[in-house]
Amino acid sequence: MTIEKVRESYSAQPFRPFVMHLADGREITAHHPEHLVAAPSGRTVTVYQPDDTSNVVDLLLVTDLEIRPTRNGSRKRRQG
């Protein structure tokens, strides 16, 4: 995964939370764009979580970005 692809996700307007799936099976959720910091080299990002923990992610280990639906109702509800 490239830093450009991650930047596209955290720069999206409106922002939508996303999950980085890693090669080792872990999932790191980016809840807010201000909770992400990219290293100057673009090789790693630090993702801060709501409980003040953080994850340093090597972008070479990111296999997929999963964009989450927004909470404002833009996702259709199932009827029935």
Render pLDDT for 23-80 as a digit per residue (tens, 0 to 9).
999 999 999 999 999 999 989 999 999 999 999 999 999 999 999 876 665 544 334 3
CATH 2.30.30.100 fits 3-67, yes or no: yes
What's the whole-model pTM score?
0.78
What is the rounded CA–CA span in Å between residue 18 and residue 41?
22
**Domain definitions of the chain by residue range:** 3-67
Burial track 16-30 (b if 16+ CB lie within 10 A, e otherwise): bbbebbbeeeeebeb
Nearest to 2 by CA among 56, 47, 65: 65
Closest CA to 56 of 33, 37, 31: 37
